[in-house]
Amino acid sequence: MPDESLSPPELLGDIPPEQFRSYLHRVADWIADYRETIEQRRISPRVRPGEIAARCSTEAPDEPAPLNEILAELDTVVMPGIVHWGHPAFLGYFGSTSNGPALLGEMVAAALNVSAMTWQTSPAATELENVVLGWIRQMVGLSESFTGVVYDTASIATLHALAAARERCGTAVRERGVAGHDVPTHRVYASDQAHSSIDKAMIVLGLGEMNVTRVPSDEAFRMDVAALRAAMAADLRSGICPMAVVATVGTTSTTSVDPVTEIAAVCTEFGAWLHVDAAYGGALGLLNEGRWAMAGVQLADSVVVNPHKWMFVPLDFSVLYTRHPELLRGVFSLTHAYLRGDAARGTADSAASYADYMDYGIQLGRRFRALKAWMVFRAFGRDGLAARIRQHCRLAQQWAQWVDADPRFVRVAPVPMAVVCFRHVPAGLDDAACDRLNEAIVNAVNASGCAYLTHTRVRGRVVMRIGIGNILTTVQHLERVWALVQSETDRMATGCEMST
Amino acid sequence: MPDESLSPPELLGDIPPEQFRSYLHRVADWIADYRETIEQRRISPRVRPGEIAARCSTEAPDEPAPLNEILAELDTVVMPGIVHWGHPAFLGYFGSTSNGPALLGEMVAAALNVSAMTWQTSPAATELENVVLGWIRQMVGLSESFTGVVYDTASIATLHALAAARERCGTAVRERGVAGHDVPTHRVYASDQAHSSIDKAMIVLGLGEMNVTRVPSDEAFRMDVAALRAAMAADLRSGICPMAVVATVGTTSTTSVDPVTEIAAVCTEFGAWLHVDAAYGGALGLLNEGRWAMAGVQLADSVVVNPHKWMFVPLDFSVLYTRHPELLRGVFSLTHAYLRGDAARGTADSAASYADYMDYGIQLGRRFRALKAWMVFRAFGRDGLAARIRQHCRLAQQWAQWVDADPRFVRVAPVPMAVVCFRHVPAGLDDAACDRLNEAIVNAVNASGCAYLTHTRVRGRVVMRIGIGNILTTVQHLERVWALVQSETDRMATGCEMST
């Protein structure tokens, strides 16, 4: 007989319900306070590597600690090392906005802690995923011919898309792999502005990093379609399979938009899969005046859109749409293998009329991600999402005007969305010195704790970059950041030695 | 000038702070109520496919909805379709336990919404990840020669491990891929009990599903090492590269434990990578009396442990340890490629002394997963984790005794951990009919709403399976479920026609 008294009761079960309720309220207030005071915080902490870890024991704790003490350590140990991505003057990367409705959704999803492997393991999780996939599809302007699935990140979504493309080449890759039999080299084409997740996907898929052909981009950082066609034709003549083209709607550095319609025509010509990386730019499809960005995406075989980038859903939430869901399922469903052999996992019959999303991807354990998206989309509505996205575009235009009006800076790329790249180019400095100077300005601005920019490289040169994606960011915030950029630039220019 | 008044203010910004605070408290109470009343709920809902979706609009909502209304719909639309994985009589799959401390951690992580791409994008996220990786390593009994990284799921962790193994074969696979040049067939070996994630990984990696050799298992479902050696030797003679062996510590169906030490010796003999799937069983290493399960794992090249399975961290949280972190980084770091070309993303310099975890995997966006693990490990302590795991093992032994004492059932596998597989085998039924009967019993038990089992296949036959992993589950819960299994079995036996 199991004798539960063998373990002291305080070492079993959960924390007592009344205590839990009280801590839930305490953390609720902690979160409310955090959000209300976020603007008063230094965005980027002043910590040296190892400083946070040094406050923790390197030994796993033996004894239970009171929650009281742990929550105190949250403030003393953890918070001093946090970069406040939610601060309205955090303009790094693409803003991943947390917000009220989203946070409530995250809380509930964590409490439910279901796994959306199959319809049966939680019907509401699968069906809500289906519902929000429909909403996002409509909002970004894709037709019903696209079927979606939610993954964690765009990198994983693109990996799945290219896995499907690889399978379509028709050489039974799923079964036999690409090595050891007569499979041609598969090549993928993307602009020199496209995201590194394409390289990672090609590495993982066993197709090789060298088989990502980087096609030159034009003066607006858009893929040169003539160069694409020439590269594909040359490869085809050499017996290489032009497997897929990745077109980008909203590149990471400059948010440039590839000419998707023309690229689609080239894909048709060569029988190549067209994957569109609209991870960031898909959101622009919510605006009537932004629909141009999604022109031609209708013709794609697959499209990735990241609501955690510019649709106000927190990390992580990435959507892949494809016109060939049966192919994706054909690569990833193991139902047949499973039925052939011994059981490799506990299973449940699925409802034939609903997709079991585990059959469409690598991951088996799948969080109930749809809930937070459902909360955000219901709470803000399409109109609210669009208004916020439009506002971010306007704010970026404002920043671009400031840059354009200031002789100390050049704007290095058009601003079709909510990202601005600019560079301080004083006379008499060579490119490398200018690179160091721009990096130093970014570091100085970030060191102030009042703003956070990133630097990136455009045409090989270091530039400053802001990305506006936070629903709390107003023009007043940007005015202050702009003043800071100006003053740090002047300070650097007046003789300070730059650190490299 | 951006004119913020162009968008009505209610369509910009977040919900008002005071309103948000009040909703945080409302959801805090909702969660507390949910956890307190979870036992009174039907575990598995009575919904037909499409029923939940039918309560949602298929059109994306245009207008913002009041949070009041949305939270009401949480109860009326979402909850009726939830399987309550946290119910103490939910014994399906492996229990993924949510609990008080974990939930508070999830809430805070969602509020912070940082991305742990690099040290610099949030030092505390990277350093806390490092700290809890150390704790888990110690707790499961791995030496300091292992370096860890947190992924979402074991499927992703195993994919990364096998990607590193593939690279070690030394044919510049990262750069050139496995197709189109002189790369031998790479083969992976795993027992016929091993998880399907190995097949998925081999499909993704371009090595082919057919190159997973399923090695027979013995009467206790452990890999037959002689058969493994013979298979590898035969392959080597045929010019096939025996790339890796996946040994399992705690298989999904029966929690059997492969003889890792002997398998390691074979791996050494053939120069093969040893990956240990201890996703479930690694937790047994927390018990002195459970250390046997991890014997030999020290010799592995990589090990996956899932704290979201049996270490009380909610979905998703999976850890890969490897003795070759430089190899993993060699496959996935794109630093060089990035510096070579145009910027493909905004970047920040990383602190040289700390790992940038994005360089160790596919995903770039990485949630602050370490926080919930830190909360759980601090709140329960190693002693508390061990006591709960020990208790689950005891409860499983109790169930096994009930099965063994009841002539209507046979136990089909040993019970080394907290999973029991058993089968109702009435006289006079052929195997297929018996399969249908066992499936029908599981379905009937689950249809009651009072318990949730899974059925699985062992040696090709359908059996019933319970997995105990919830910290709320007591012997009283099991007594009730066992009584239900018995009564449903009798009811089926007395002439009810089974549905197939």
CB pair distance less than 8 Å for B80 and A1? no
Q: Using the predicted structure, report yes or no on whether residue A460 has a pLDDT greater than 90.
A: yes
Indicate the burial class of B202 (C-beta count within 10 angstroms; 0-12, 13-18, 19 or more): buried
What does the pLDDT read at residue A182?
75
Q: Using the predicted structure, report yes or no on whether residue A114 has a pLDDT greater than 80.
A: yes
Those residues of chain B that have pLDDT short of 50 are 1-2, 5, 336-351, 496-500
Indicate the burial class of A80 (C-beta count within 10 angstroms; 0-12, 13-18, 19 or more): middle
> For domain B14-44+83-98+381-500, is the CATH number 3.90.1150.170?
yes
In terms of Cα–Cα distance, which of B468, B432, B126, B453 is closest to B310? B468
- pLDDT digit string, tens, across residues A218-257: 999 999 999 999 999 999 999 999 999 999 999 999 999 9
Residues 376-395 of B with CB under 8 A from A: 377-384, 387-388, 390-391, 394-395
Q: Which residue has the tokens 């609009």?
A: B57
- Answer left, alpha or beta for residue B153, where phi above 0 means left and psi between -120 and 50 means alpha: beta
Q: Are A173 and A166 in contact (CB under 8 A)?
A: yes
Q: Are A160 and A362 in contact (CB under 8 A)?
A: yes
**Cα(A126)–Cα(A124) distance, integer angstroms:** 5
- pLDDT digit string, tens, across residues A21-38: 999 999 999 999 999 999
The domain spans of chain B are: 14-44+83-98+381-500, 115-367
In total, the C-beta contacts within 8 angstroms joining chain A to chain B are 643
By the CB < 8 Å criterion, does B214 face chain A?
Answer: yes
Residues 265-284 of A with CB under 8 A from B: none
Q: What is the CATH number of domain A376-493?
A: 3.90.1150.170
By the CB < 8 Å criterion, does B498 face chain A?
Answer: no
The model's confidence at residue A97, banded by pLDDT at 50, 70 and 90, is: confident
ipTM for the assembly: 0.94
CA distance B241 to chain A (A): 11
* Per-residue tokens: A294: 């999604």
CA distance A95 to chain B (A): 10
Where does A218-336 show beta strands of DSSP type E?
241-248, 273-277, 302-305, 318-322
What does the pLDDT read at residue A342?
36
Q: Which amino acid is at A319?
A: V
What does the pLDDT read at residue A184?
86
Where does B440-481 show beta strands of DSSP type E?
454-458, 461-467
In terms of Cα–Cα distance, which of B190, B319, B207 is closest to B258? B190
Among the partner-chain residues A130, A138, A391, the one whose CB lies closest to the CB of B12 is A391
The model's confidence at residue A335, banded by pLDDT at 50, 70 and 90, is: low
Q: Which residue has the tokens 């059925």?
A: B455
Instruction: Tell me what the mean pLDDT of segment A419-436 comes to.
Output: 96
Selected for mutation to probe chain A from B203, B332, B358 (highest A CB count within 10 Å) is: B203
Provide, as residue numbers in chain B, all residues whose Cβ is less than 8 Å from the Cβ of A152. Answer: 152, 363, 365
Q: Are A413 and A221 in contact (CB under 8 A)?
A: yes
In terms of Cα–Cα distance, which of B139, B23, B134 is closest to B70? B23
Provide, as residue numbers in chain A, all residues whose Cβ is less than 8 Å from the Cβ of B194. Answer: 344
The rounded percent of chain A whose pLDDT value lies above 70 is 93
Q: What is the CATH number of domain B115-367?
A: 3.40.640.10
Among the partner-chain residues B13, B27, B58, the one whose CB lies closest to the CB of A108 is B27
What does the pLDDT read at residue B409?
98
Residues 116-135 of B with CB under 8 A from A: 119-125, 127-128, 130-131, 134-135
Selected for mutation to probe chain A from B104, B176, B455 (highest A CB count within 10 Å) is: B104
Q: Which helix (H) or strand (E) holds A432?
A: helix A431-447
Put the strands of the sheet holding B186-191 in their side by side order.
B147-151, B318-322, B302-305, B273-277, B241-248, B186-191, B212-215
Which is it for strands A419-424 and A409-411: parallel, antiparallel or unpaired? antiparallel
What does the pLDDT read at residue B96?
72
- Please, which residues bridge with residue B245 across strands? B189, B274
What does the pLDDT read at residue B9?
77
CB pair distance less than 8 Å for A195 and B344? yes
By the CB < 8 Å criterion, does B447 face chain A?
Answer: no
CB pair distance less than 8 Å for B6 and A394? yes
* Per-residue tokens: B232: 């590898």
Least confident of A362-366, A406-410, B338-342: B338-342
CB pair distance less than 8 Å for B159 and A107? no
- pLDDT digit string, tens, across residues A264-294: 999 999 999 999 999 999 999 999 999 999 9
What pTM value is reported for the model?
Answer: 0.95
What does the pLDDT read at residue A181?
66
What does the pLDDT read at residue B339?
36
Residues near B448 by beta carbon (within 8 Å), at least 6 away in sequence: B484, B488
Q: Using the predicted structure, report yes or no on whether residue A3 has a pLDDT greater than 90.
A: no
Indicate the burial class of A9 (C-beta count within 10 angstroms; 0-12, 13-18, 19 or more): exposed
By the CB < 8 Å criterion, does A330 face chain B?
Answer: no
The model's confidence at residue A6, banded by pLDDT at 50, 70 and 90, is: low
**Cα(B363)–Cα(B369) distance, integer angstroms:** 13
In terms of Cα–Cα distance, which of B441, B66, B382, B369 is closest to A61? B382
**Cα(A193)–Cα(A304) distance, integer angstroms:** 17
